[in-house]
Structure 1
């Protein structure tokens, strides 16, 4: 078994003195190994509960296999549960709750705690409830702390409400800056909404949580290289793209959708060219230079995912939403982004499937970029770490038409 790395030793030394803790360590830094060590040195644990993205648990090369690689848990009673199952199934939630209630000393671990977001969401409420019943609580998060400050309240509430000791409303008023946007649609019709544009009092926030959080960046000897592969939409895809753009930028449609139009609009516009012919041509050319067997292809849509799996059966085709988190793919070194994604955290996490502790080769990434405005907007906003809805809310209809 490999010797613990310095950051892993430091994390264990810091968190072993508390019953709750958080590892905000970049993907690939070895959080799973730390969790195994912390659980195994905690006395009298009679139940270990591991909750994480379903795909990371139920794949043959998923989290249980990685835990076994590090010697496994000494506790004989271990439960793995997909966070999606916990949300959707009352039976699974109640059965797990019963097991935790009956155990004397439960150690609960939430992997990829970035999934704990909306405080009112069912999954968040259920996780907090299970945490309240557990003696020891640990969260693992591969996204840097500064990238998701708004989500901290729910995550700290899971660990212990005593850490922040304030309500969600107080948290927002203390640490968040708001901007009000009003959009008018002719006549007397208008729509107003507040959204977060920044954060304040960050030093105070860090002082409240610093004892329970360990942070570190990923430092490897191998390098990362990024390239762009340009493709051209076929005539039919471009026609459908332009039709959808005009349809959704219609005044009546904007008003009817109450600004939720942006998610639906971009999804359908991007889907219109998801499997345009030239995307396959440029990847075919790339596979004359690299090996499909050593390549991940990330897709956003079912049709692009199924088509890629059919065209290149030797490549590993993954979904952003289901498989960008948690999986250890260090035996691969190439990544193709067949479809773009607005979500900065998903983009960072997807790149860390290959660039992680144990990787022996340089990691290479290729972005497929089409000849339409939406593709450039996604790239620009990923680089600026701006979300889709946040970007579109500050734009007029005329500006959107020109940029798209």
Structure 2
């Protein structure tokens, strides 16, 4: 018989009374096993349909075997629903007359109004039971919750997205000649009401380990020619804000990319790795996260003895407790992404203290991203609230 941890038993006890539920359990707390326990408690289903990010499918299959899921399961990549109309129609047809349990793993992937969100929600409506699983349900703000809970049931909010927005969002507007020239999210209201709607269906668990997690920032100064390129791109970016040319996100990426391949950053990385080696740390204990292809190429050419992972591709579903050190060669302004990346090593089963290192530029964008990560805010939301002068000074 499968042995469950106290947190998993508490989760199963709370959610077994509902047909839907949200397991907002930190990575490493065993949410997959808790979900399997809930599914196995049902006696009136024939099959399980489990959506998960494509890159985690093999890992999930192994996890489900370990957790002794007693029902036949079909594992489908979330991203597949964006790209394959055939897969969508096959699933709709297959599960229209089937008593099944539908699970969305890493449900933050369906927070937006994307094609895959619509398709997964449509399939989910045909399920007898539904679960969403995520360690970090918010990557930007409370608006991230709407589509996740709408997948579970339209009866939870009993409102469309516009009604949800007007109920919980504080919005600022710039109006000229009775025409809205600019609008932005300035905060949230009625949060007690929001929490009262969703709390019955949520089980939340934070990670409690006997090992420590230490974070350290290592600053570097990029070369003069890179700073010159950054300042040039900064002028383009600021001009884009003024003219609202619609390319803000792309120009933000260019700003950060401009110093991604800094020679001084590579030197700082080498010095850090040498210090760790002198401490007796084995290479296999160290993971280096990168963001851009130019960084991947540099790292694979010179630091291939270490585990190199992409922030975009490898932040979900990997159990890497055999390592205990992460170095972020670059960072993302997506709080959920960064937290998930750290959770690859800081999770149940980790037996050693963990160390997290951030390589941060001494100028510009990196400092702003760090501020937003600390506040768990979205970078673009801050952009819309600041004056041009404030933003120019910060950059």
Equivalents in 2 of 1:147, 1:193: separation in Å? 20
SS at match of 2:96: helix
Instruction: Tell me how far apart the structure 2 counterparts of residues 57 and 200 of structure 1 sit (CA, whole Å).
Output: 38
Q: Which runs of 5+ in 1 are unaligned?
A: none
1:34: which partner in 2? 34
Aligned to 2:125: 132
Counterpart of 1:210 (choices 196, 199, 208) is 199
Cα pair distance change 1:307/1:91, threshold 3 Å: farther
Q: Which residue of 2 aligns with 1:143?
A: 136
Change (3 A) 1:145 1:340: closer
RMSD value over aligned CA atoms?
2.3
Alignment of 1:273 onto 2:259:
yes
Q: Deviations along 1:262-305, whole A, 9 cap, x unmatched?
A: 32222101111111112221221222214331122111112212
The answer to whether structure 1 residue 159 and structure 2 residue 155 are counterparts is no
The DSSP-based 3-state class of the residue aligned with 1:17 is coil
Q: CA deviation at 1:212?
A: 1.5
CA contact (8 A) 1:63 1:327 kept: no
Which residue of 374, 383, 388 maps to 1:392? Answer: 383
TM-score w.r.t. the length of structure 1 is 0.90
One of 66, 71, 76 as aligned partner of 1:75: 71
Matches for 1:35-74 after TM superposition, within 5 Å: 35-58=35-58, 62-71=59-68, 73-74=69-70
Query: Contact between 1:24 and 1:145, CA under 8 Å: does it hold in 2?
Result: no
User: 1:150-174 CA distances to partner (integer Å, 9 max, x unpaired)?
Assistant: 1222122111112222222222222
**Residue equivalent to 1:12:** 12
CA distance in 1, matches of 2:290, 2:54: 18
Q: Where does residue 90 of structure 1 map in the other structure?
A: 85
SS where residue 81 of structure 1 aligns?
A: strand
Residue 191 of structure 1 and its aligned partner are, at CA, apart by 7.7
Equivalent residue runs for 1:3-402 within 5 Å: 3-58=3-58, 62-71=59-68, 73-76=69-72, 78-103=73-98, 105-118=99-112, 120-143=113-136, 148-181=141-174, 192-250=181-239, 253-258=240-245, 260-288=246-274, 289=276, 290-402=281-393
Q: Equivalents in 2 of 1:320, 1:26: separation in Å?
A: 18
Deviation at 1:203, TM superposition (A): 2.0
Query: Structure 1 CA distance, aligned partners of 2:49 and 2:204?
Result: 23
CA distances 1:114-170 after superposition (whole Å, capped 9, x unpaired)? 11222x321111111011111111000111579742122212211111222222222
Distance 2:34 2:284 in 1: 30
**Structure 1 CA distance, aligned partners of 2:243 and 2:89?**
40
Secondary structure, counterpart of 2:155 in structure 1:
helix
Aligned partners of 1:247, 1:176: CA distance in 2, in Å? 31
Q: 1:371 to 1:328 in 2, by over 3 A?
A: same
Per-residue deviation, 1:257: 4.1
Equivalent pair of 2:173/2:180 in contact (CA under 8 Å): no
| Deviation of 1:84 (Å) | 1.0
Aligned-partner SS, 2:79:
helix
SS in 2 for 1:138: strand
Structure 2 unpaired stretches of 5+: none
For the residues of structure 1 that align with 2:160 and 2:236, how far apart are their CA atoms? 42
Q: What displacement does 1:382 show?
A: 1.4
Pairwise CA distance, 1:181: 4.7
Q: TM-score, normalised by structure 2?
A: 0.92
